Chains A and B, each alone.
Chain A
Amino acid sequence: MNGYINVCDVEKYYGSEAGMTKAVDRVSFQVDEGEFVGVMGASGSGKTTLLNMLATIDNVTAGHIYYQETDITELKPDRLAKFRKENLGFVFQDYNLLDTLTIGENIVLAMTLQKKGKKEIKKESEEMMRLLGIWEIRNQFPYQVSGGQKQRCACARALINHPKLLLADEPTGALDSRAAETLLETFQRLNETRKATIFMVTHDAFSASYCSRILFLKDGKIFHELVRGQKGRREFLNCILDVLSVTGGEGDAR
């Protein structure tokens, strides 16, 4: 296996034998280190299920997922939690920040759970908050800041422990276009400067245009793949829209 992350013949079925739904059907792909991969598809195409399996919060019915040498489908629940803690970061559409903690504390908590020292926590969290432009609002509670700021806080929390993979599920879904753009630029910057590996699920073509590679999912299967290569973002967006117009997927060109 050459990839950083290898997904091999993964299947996910729901329901009983009588009424089986194949949410993900024999999907295989690789993600390289430092890659920014997007997954697109219509509602019900299986993209969130796929992300959840990569995120270890859902089990595969069959197949294997390797993070370098580790097969996460073989890990016991306790090991999985440890693996999640040490290797993965999450950004979700609804931010999932803890409402009793301030913006800064939300980031600090992720580090204290890793049993890091006070000095390291203070230094790294400040660095990260400054990088994402949320240092000034560190003492505010989530309900006091905007959606974009909340999402950047979620990003900071997801990346603070240097995960092998950042998983983002419709991260711009609840943001206005300006905040969405800022967030996606942040993702891109993190990908370029910190070599963060990002796996993002979206149904929005504009968001997807920031990725370096896009997998298109339909009825649980990968039916197409687009690589950005040397193309500019707008050019890549047009390619995505072309694919979507063929498949009848949702598109949003800005």
Chain B
Amino acid sequence: MLAKLALRNVRRSAKDYLVYFFTMTVVVALMFAFNSLIFSGEVHDMFQGVEVMEVMLGLATFFIVLIVAWLINYMIRFILEKRSREFGIYLLLGMEKRQIARLYMRESVLLGAGAFLAGLVFGVLVQQILMSILYSMVLSDFRINIEFSRGCLIMTASCYAGCYLLALLRCKRKLKKMNIHGLMNAERQNEEIKESHEGLKRWLLPLSVLFLALFGAWLFYGKEWGTHTIILFLVGLVLVIYLFYMGLSAWIISYVRHEGNAIYAGQNLFLLRQFASKIRTMRFTMGTLTALFVLAFLGCSVAMMFNFYENQMLGDKMPFDIHIHSAYVEDDFATELSVIENNVPIKEAYAYHIYENGTDVVNVWLYTHLKVFGDAYRKADGTPDLEAIRGERDFAAYCRYDTYMGISDYNHLRKLLGLDTVALADDEYIIHIKDRVFRETGDFSDQLAIEGNGGALRFAGFHTEPFSQDGHNGGDYVIVVSDDEIAKMRPFYAQLAVELGGETPEDLRNLLDDATRELDFKTSDPISDIDITAMLNETECVGSDSILVWGANNLVRDNILVEMKCMLSTMIFPLTYIGLVFLCVALTVLSVQQLSDSAKYKFRYKVLRQIGMGAKEIAGLVLKQLFLFYLCPALFAAVIGGIIAGYVGGKFNFYAGVRTPAAVYFGISLMLFLGVYSVYFVVTYVGFLRNIESGR
């Protein structure tokens, strides 16, 4: 009998709490799809750095389990409250508490199991979408391949069961404490509106706004960030998120109490009162929802940053099909060329040298002026700390000396890249510099003195096209001088740029690395008088990039792009995952709250009908009411998220060199947010109207 009752109740709750059921289905589907990335054999074979992805997804899963457990707990308690009268009647009829608890738990588990099965089916579809995105991100062809690995299934089931277990344990305590009177009255509890100290509480609203303004100013303009300041602001932010709603509600109540003009227009009085009383009773939940929205915004925004970085910057990082660096200036690259030729036709190969003349004027200027280095290479009096600049050489941004290139080599490489050639007089020099660095420095030629053989050279301009400047054509920059000048300098290191005549084989980089490793080993001759370590150290640099640094002698663009994109995916995917789940959880709570209110308080709309509002007017009123209720936490979260995302985006752009305005990352997240938001909004609106129409 109990089982039958449980089943019937589940069917009814599923209908009442369709949004919750839908979200649980989506959560299972997302869990399954993302977990399948960890367990997919194909992904393991194809992607390097999959371990990082596993760790990141594992981390994301941890937070998601916590939040979903919160949702389940919230919903179970919420449904319990809504059905308290029914449980009271069971108790009156003589059912034992234990029986009722078992009945309710059984129902919850049945509802959860239903959502789990539906989620798995939906999950297979999401898995395919996810895979196709992952494949398209890393330039591979995607064929539909449904993987149903046991590990993935077990992990999804355990995460899901973990959420339920956490939630049910907490709820069991509540069920134990119930009594008939409490249950019969639980429904009425939040109808009482207690208004006290509104005049004081309302000041929390301007205080919250002021704090946010200060927070923004501190983020964008603050210089000294001690640990104490950071902790203080973060604690303040969390407090503000919660206190804001108390303040807002009190402000509206005070406004209504003081008979502000707006309450005398149309349905405003009803709307304001309805809104104020709702956010007052739900202020804690609203705070939590805002926090979830903020995290969802930030997760999506950061994912967007990496996505833009991938689309804009990766291609620019390696303009040549293959670019090989050798510290040995006599290197003829015969071994490398034969490895390449054995695997793919070569359209053109060009070997050249980078030169030095024993000076480090540009290096010193960049080390002491770029923000990324801070004060690391400056003495206390602001003068360059030459010892630090010239001493430490591990993972150096720049080579030991300034890097030079002859105009013929330069123009040849430009032609290879499809760029126009440039003219240069004998007494002139140009600087080819990374666009990102140039945007920060501007024209700094007047602060440089580049000496040629016959005296100071004249500056003839900057060029900023992508030019492989992560240690190959210099780190960040290369100075281009006439061939006469270059003839008088010493070759610093050797370079080989290759344009391929066919598709790059997948393992070309590994083949090249293997071949050159053997070469390195052979030339490490103990009898030779060359100090190999010193030579390698002096000629190796990676430039000042800091988001994704790839220092390697052999750059095979198409191979490395795949690896870099894999690395970026390890950030993008888990962040999107977190963002989506948090968003769905928060919207579900909003939706279910409103839908259950619409059923509980449908008499309010009946009264409005009686005092003369037509069906259309009431539909409009409900729309406004839902809009306010949905928009408030979203808007508040958008302000907080916008401030933080704007700041993080600005920093990201600064270091990554992406040209997209920081607002765009946030804007796209907002659009994505609005997409998911509209689905929940429409479902709630339709359900709300249906609920208040029923029983008319």
Flag if A99 contacts B614 (CB, 8 Å).
Answer: no
For residue B696, which residue of chain A has the nearest CB?
A57
A101's partner among B261, B265, B270, B614 (CB-CB below 8 A) is B270
Is A82 at the interface (CB under 8 A from chain B)?
A: yes
What residues of A have a CB within 8 angstroms of the CB of B263 in the complex? 105, 108, 112
Docked complex Cα distance between A77 and B604 (Å): 20
Contact, CB under 8 Å: A81 / B256: no
Interface string of B664-681 (1 = CB under 8 A from A): 000000000000000000
Contacts of A86 in B (CB 8 A): 612
List, in ascending order, chain A residues with CB within 8 A of B269's CB. 101, 105, 108-109, 112
Contacts of B274 in A (CB 8 A): 100
**Among A16-24, A116-124, A189-197, A206-214, which stretch is in contact with chain B?**
A116-124
Residues of chain B within 8 A of A97, CB atoms compared: 607
**CB of A84 within 8 A of chain B?**
yes
Residues of B within 8 A of A118 (CB): 259, 261, 264
Q: Which residues of B contact A115 (CB under 8 A)?
A: 266
Contact A82 B612 (CB under 8 A): yes
Contact of B611 among A77, A85, A116 (CB under 8 A): A85
Contact of A122 among B256, B259, B604 (CB under 8 A): B259
- For residue B504, CB closer than 8 A to chain A, the reply is no
CB distance from A107 to the nearest CB of B (A): 10
A139 (CB) vs chain B CBs: closest residue:
B257
- Residue-by-residue, is B606-637 near A (CB-CB < 8 Å gives 1, otherwise 0)? 11111111111100000000000000000000
Q: How far is the CA of A63 from the CA of B606 in the complex (A)?
A: 26
Task: Please tell me if the beta carbons of B615 and A81 are within 8 angstroms of each other in the complex.
Answer: yes
Q: Is A136 an interface residue (CB 8 A)?
A: no
A63-101: which have CB < 8 Å to B?
Answer: 77-78, 80-82, 84-86, 88, 90, 96-101
The residue on A at minimum CB distance from B191 is A99
Q: Does A134 contact B (CB under 8 A)?
A: no
Q: How far is the CB of B114 from chain A (nearest CB, A)?
A: 35
Partner pick for B617 among A81, A108, A139, CB 8 A cutoff: A81
Chain B residues contacting A96 (CB-CB under 8 Å) are: 603, 606-607, 610
Please tell me which one of the listed residues A55, A77, A110, A122 contacts residue B615 in the complex, with CB atoms under 8 A apart. Answer: A77
A85, A108, A117, A141: which contacts B612 (Cβ < 8 A)?
A85
> Whole-angstrom distance from the CB of B283 to the nearest CB of chain A?
16
Would you call A78 and B614 a contact (CB within 8 A)? yes
A141 and B266 alpha carbons, distance in the complex (Å): 21
* B192 nearest CB across to chain A (Å): 6
- Taking a contact as CB atoms under 8 Å apart, the answer to whether B267 and A113 are in contact is yes
Say yes or no: B611 contacts A99, CB within 8 Å. no
CA of A117 to CA of B608, assembled, Å:
20
**A221 on the interface (CB 8 Å rule)?**
no
Residue ID in chain B nearest A157 by CB atoms: B611
| Residue A29 lies at the interface, judged by CB distance under 8 Å to chain B | no
B273 within 8 A of A: yes
What is the minimal beta-carbon distance from A36 to any residue of chain B, in angstroms?
Answer: 21
Smallest CB-CB separation from A76: which chain B residue?
A: B614
B277 at interface, CB cutoff 8 A: yes
B265 touches A112 (CB 8 A): yes
A115 to B268, CA, bound (A): 11
B334 at the interface (CB under 8 A from A): no
**Cβ-defined contact, A113 with B266, below 8 A:** yes
The answer to whether the Cβ of A143 comes within 8 Å of any Cβ in the partner chain is: yes
Task: Mark interface residues in A151-190 (1 if CB within 8 Å of B CB, else 0).
Answer: 0000001000000000000000000000000000000000
Q: Which of B247-298 contact A (CB under 8 A)?
A: 256-257, 259, 261, 263-270, 273-274, 276-277
Residues of A within 8 A of B193 (CB): 99-100, 141, 143
| Other-chain residue from B259, B604, B617 in contact with A98 (beta carbon distance below 8 A) | B604
**A142, chain B: closest CB distance, angstroms:** 9
Q: Which residues of A contact B265 (CB under 8 A)?
A: 112
Chain A residues with CB under 8 A of B603: 96
Q: What residue in chain B is nearest A99 (Cβ atoms)?
A: B191
Q: For B276, list chain A residues within 8 Å (CB).
A: 100
Given the known inter-chain contacts A117-B264, A141-B193, please indicate yes or no for A109 contacting B611, CB distance below 8 A: yes
Which chain B residue has the least Cβ–Cβ distance from A78? B614
Contact in complex: A77, B614 (CB < 8 Å): yes
Q: How far is the CA of A90 from the CA of B606 in the complex (A)?
A: 12
- Nearest CB on B from A153, distance (A): 12
Q: A81-B617, A99-B604, A121-B264 are in contact. Are A110 and B191 (CB under 8 A)?
A: no
What are 19 A-B residue pairs whose CB atoms fall within 8 Å in the complex?
A: A57-B609, A57-B610, A77-B615, A84-B612, A85-B611, A85-B613, A88-B612, A96-B606, A98-B273, A100-B273, A100-B277, A101-B270, A105-B256, A105-B269, A109-B270, A112-B265, A112-B266, A113-B266, A139-B257
Name A residues whose Cβ lies closer than 8 Å to a Cβ of B. 55, 57, 77-78, 80-82, 84-86, 88, 90, 96-101, 105, 108-110, 112-118, 121-122, 139, 141, 143, 157
- Show the binding face of B for A, using Cβ within 8 Å: 191-193, 256-257, 259, 261, 263-270, 273-274, 276-277, 601, 603-604, 606-617
Give 14 new A-B contacts, CB below 8 A, not counting A57-B610, A81-B613, A113-B613.
A78-B616, A80-B614, A82-B612, A85-B611, A88-B612, A96-B610, A99-B191, A105-B263, A108-B269, A109-B611, A112-B266, A112-B269, A113-B267, A118-B264
Q: Give the top 8 A-B pairs by smallest Cβ distance, nearest first.
A: A85-B612, A81-B614, A118-B264, A100-B273, A100-B277, A96-B607, A84-B612, A90-B610
